[in-house]
Structure 1
Amino acid sequence: MIPARASADPRAGRAGRFRAALAISLAALSLWLVGDQVVALNASRVWDAAIDLPPEALVASFALALLSHAGLAGYDRLALTRLGRYVPWRRALAGGFGGAVAAQTLGMGLVTGSLARARIYRANGLSAPEIVALTALVTAGFFAGLVVALTALLAFDPKPLAHLVGTRPDAVRAVACAVLALVASGALARRWLPERLSFLSMQVRLPGVKWLVSATALAVADLVPAALSLAVLLPVEGLPGPTGFVAIFMAALALGHMANLPGGVGPFEATLLLALPAVPTEDLAAAILVWRALYYLPTGALALVLAARAPARSGTRILAGRALEDRLRWVLDACGQAEAALVHLGDKHVFAPEDARALAMYGVGAGTWLMMGDPVGPREDWPQVIDGLASEARAAGARLAGYKVGPASEDIWRAAGFAVSPLGSEASVAAADFTLDVPVRRELRRKCRAADKAGMFVRVHPPGGAPLAEMGSVADAWRDAKSGREQTFSMGHWAPDFAARHVTVTGRVAGQLVAFATIWTSGDGREWMLDLMRMTPDAPAGAMHRLVAAGIDAAGQAGADRFNLCMAPLSDLPRGRGAPWAARLGGVVWRLGGGRLGLHGLRRFKEAFRPDWAPRGLASLGPLGTVEALLTARALVRGGARIAGTDPARMPRVAIPPPAPIPAPSPNAAAERPQDREVA
């Protein structure tokens, strides 16, 4: 829907009058240039020429037209990245197709394209200004790509346009090369400009080289098949070479779209009549008429169907704003899931139905909304949360999947129609009776003694009391040694504000911080869960085993029932013919690449604590849904979370302020004996 204030804006009125004057001028110029040829056309001969077109040419033309529209549908995905909004790829392709077809077929592209997109994206939360901006960005991408592709063709073969405008080919090539150089310079100059520009009260990312290359690729994918779909309907004898014809077609289409007329009618035909004098006029007119019918009518009907059948929002009443923050605080304070601390990372959305006491965290990926872990809150409300979020995802054109689904929710997912495939096993130990002085933990005892002999002092800090500056240096050293980037979504990454919320265990040697581990605690205090483990390359052997053992001791002293050591990915997966295909594939990865990927070492680290193991799985819909969910999980864990891509009113992202900092430990704490592990 177009904003009402747009009609009252004097600038909008002037722009509308300019577009109308341009359309009338181009139509009048077209009629003046080719009026004699149009008047001389014999309608019966045009009809006969259309009837005589061979069936194989019609089939080829239609197939190429469909291929062209497949490229045309990609412009919306490119434009959405400029707006910082994310829409599942199925819906983005549908919006790109429907909006582009409406704009091209009906003319007045900014209006008709925006109306079509507003209908198709109505469940995705895009506002009216965003829809208008999206249409404008699509138009800019189309013309930018067209200009680059057309000038590149003319630099290669300038003869067709030189003949059309009556000048020398060298002059056309020089102008084309100059335009290419100007466009390239503008794209390269992007690095010296601001990253974002305010537009219609939004922040729009300015285009750069990558955007220009993508727009050009889409223009080639769209316009080359479109040109060929017309070429196969024309007699070969009167046509220039392929590059020349494609260049003529692009120029004709550009003039037609600039006129904002339905299908570019008028300037498009006039350009072709002038540029293809060797093609009999009746044959050219017949080919254009048949091409328009094949190119516009079926796709126009499909665009109408897409717009008519575009789903509305699911109707679920969802908490937002302050009400959501209040509900989130209440749930987190009462829940027994330490993993709920992940909500504070800021890379997830929160789904909280008004009439349920539970909520869910999720990320948005390419076609999949991925719920992180089990819903948070009372288990009796979990089915309502899973069903509600699945409905929201369907309305937005996506599928719901669950990542790290636990045994407590597997039956709920299956009852909702999802298949659950094993992902790995999660380790936990009973905190209350944990001790190193048992035979099964002799390896752990040996590693802890090695750290003690190296003089490592261990301290447990409450939330807000950890030495964050020193921890940042350790985290940097760890990242540099790993030559990788931090992961997120299903685990914490180094962020001082996030770390300040949690219990921290630090290890020092000679007063120097060499290792730390952060630990989440559930709202009811019954579960503690290991998060970050970071150490410097010169940390003593057994340092991390000692820190985690100290964390488990602290959990037991604080009254916790269990200490969660997190999941060992791809371990304990079922084998054999009865196992899900994803589990069998994961087993192959475990056996062939688990050592190189560090999976075997992670499993051995956890096994040293002799924990209990419980399965964790992936809930998904069908084989394709499983593949999409796995790819989405990989992208989100690697830092590809889309936090600005959905309606903030319906699908909000929540960041609760961190707790007030607690005074740091006394400066002489590091001088205490290694065996005196202080528990704050």
Structure 2
Amino acid sequence: MRATPSTAPAVDAPLAPDADEPDIPTELDIPAPPTWLQRLTAYRQPLTLGFTLLLFVIGLLACWHLLQALDPDALRTAIHEIPGERLGGAFLATAVGFLALAGYEWSACRYAGVRLPLPRLFLGNFCACAVSNAIGLSVLSGGSVRYRLYGREGVSTADIARISLFVSLSLGCALPVLAALAALSDPHDAALALHLPEPLLQAIAALLLAGITAGLFWLSRRRLADSTLPGTIDVMLGKSRLRLPGLRMSLLQLVITAIDVCAAASVLYLLLPEGPPLGAFLLVYLLALAAGVLSHVPGGVGVFEAVLLAAFAGQIGAAPLAAALLLYRLIYIGLPLLLACLLLLANEARQYLPAGRQALRAVAGPAAPVLALLVFLAGIVLLFSGATPSVDVRLEHLSFLIPHRLIDASHLAASLIGVLCLLLAHGLRRRLSAAWALTLGLLLAGALLSLLKGFDWEEALLLSATAALLASFRRAFYRPSRLLEMPFSPVNLVASICVLGAALWLMFFVYQDVPYEHELWWQFAVDGDAPRALRAALASGLLLAGLALLWLLRPTPPSIDRPEEAQLQQAARILLASDQPDGGLALTGDKALLLHPSGDAFLMYAMQGRSLVALFDPIGCAAHRAELIWQFRDLCDLHHARPVFYQVRAENLPYYMDIGLSAIKLGEEARVDLPRFDLESKNKTMKDLRYTLSRGQRDGLAMRIFEPGEAPLELLRPISDAWMQGKQVREKGFSLGRFDPAYLRHFRIAVIEFEGRPVAFANLLETDAHKVASIDLMRMHPEAPKLTMEFLMLSLLLHFKAQGYERFSLGMVPLSGLQPRRGAPLTQRLGALVFQRGEQFYNFQGLRRFKEKFQPDWEPRYMAVPAGLDPLVALADTAALIAGGLTGLVKR
């Protein structure tokens, strides 16, 4: 059994003559009381969701106030009166807008130094932009789509993040310039639309352009002579070097953004019967767009409409403007989103078919989130359909065949299914098989009910198509789990509340002329659309409230405790049957264990701050790795903690990407290919190693291996104490073991004897698979011969080669292999700088040179963490775990 050393500075110290050896402290550090910033960070998500919900409600109230006098029949008439050629022009403008958006992607790829095939670039841009336009949070939503599509082209996570950030910031940086130009192009009409004095508007626009010009001039003064990539410039901001697009790329991007904005605005402008002056309309459109983005409401729903209604409802008329906004949402937002979902699913199916059915889990990454989005949209359709009247002609023909009580029941049941679809989308996103089965049945039932409640065949066709897609990707939902055990999702709940609130708003708007009476609840008739909608809204609200209450009143999540002896024994059995000896660190007992229900795999983790840090990939059966990773994500959600996976292998990165994490490189692990390791080779390195081995034997060094529980620990403890005293370190932990008899009794121990007395030792990490072996603790007495450590490593390599092992791990060298090139991620450049120039803190390069003597293969190791600022916090929390607490970070 073997535990791969950590990337913290003390991790691989045993293998280098000048390094330090860490372990765990014997006493716990008393945590300091949280600061106000920590408390604010802990409630960051609820505060953000509460703010978003507040702005959504304000937007709906503003729209209600502005449309209060609007007759629904007038809205219906306004929609029918839009000429067909204007509708065709809106579709054409949408196509032009998305072609312009591809220009964003092209510029972003040039900025990031990435080359992509044009078909892949167009597909990635269209799908990412369509999803981010509808959902919002373009860096995250669009970035996840790009990762799935561009990752197969070999584009790194950092470059994908850079592309997504460039695309998102391009519009934000260009909006002030375009808005100022639009205001100055027609100041009179713009002032009327914004209800501002014309001189004040002109002054604001001029000051804005002057400020932007001054900022560009200030940046140009800090431009460096050498640039990172063609078309970009580097500037110095303080002590940081920042890459920016050059003047030519910036001007080109401004033109691309202007085309994009004008095309998107034209979609809405063409749908108006008599539009306002173009300059004023474009200015208000830009302001509405900015308000929708800043509100963080998905798609800016309610906020975007409120700004435009406030500006133009009196000038154009509420009915034509509302009709244009409705069709704008369908043409520019809804249809591209639906097409993007279908393209993503088709792309996944194309990747899946050549790979074979057993490989679906690995290649059907986006299938689950895309289908979850489609199911959520199906829930919206059912709720909005329940809030609006049925087509009279269809209902009259249907009433001859179906009793009106059945029509009422179908209407009510369809709305309830809509609520369940909203909530089950969260389970589909988590790939729960129970959510898949229940959702499939509900969609088919919803399709039938849509026909029964008013012969809504369009609605039934949409639900049936979604069910067919869901059935096609059955294997993407591989997690056996009970739905009641699904972690609570505040985001999903707030989104469902927003949808239900919008449906209520729509119902009261449509039936605002129907006088409310208490008897309205109990009116059952074929033409009783208002009572049906009222009952459906009440039942939907009660169902959502009941399920949310059931979610909130569940028992508290299980506490995170250290494992009991029975769990440690089970982990030891799983470990011996695996080919992952690094799982031996679970036997230290300082980490909690997450066991797979089948009992043949586990994951070890510990809590630090708001981070739950898992050490290594799941240990045991490879088929259960994805499920264990999802279980750990569920556990983190139950505890409102940040999921962190420390020292994971590249082959498992798709599993971590699947739960929404990104990867950063920590270093490289040295693994010796034992069949290829030959001391009789004639190269100089092997000649030096032969000399080391023979010299040690002549000097009286010999290796002796003790079976588990038989090593003379009373003779080895002084060696360990002298080692730590000489290096001035204390016992640490998490990513490597400590000198503890309860821990060491699980392993064979190799002891180096000098003239019959022990001078060095290491506990061996092995499994019954005989594939990989390694060591954990490796400690040497300061008075031992100089070549003792090298002698021990050579003796172990030859021993395991004779035993038929395939590889021997020398552990990881922190920060090794990180590239300092310009344009690399900041964390990677900082790591490379520390590796090259941080020898006074830790012998990074000496450790690499020591391991290079044995001619190993170097394999990268990663940390999987949420995106944003979380990687820095996760690294600090992990370092605190390894150091034995926050005080251990400043103590050796």
Question: Could you state the TM-score of these two structures normalised by the residue count of structure 2?
Answer: 0.36
Question: Could you state the TM-score of these two structures normalised by the residue count of structure 1?
Answer: 0.47
Which structure is higher in helix share? 2
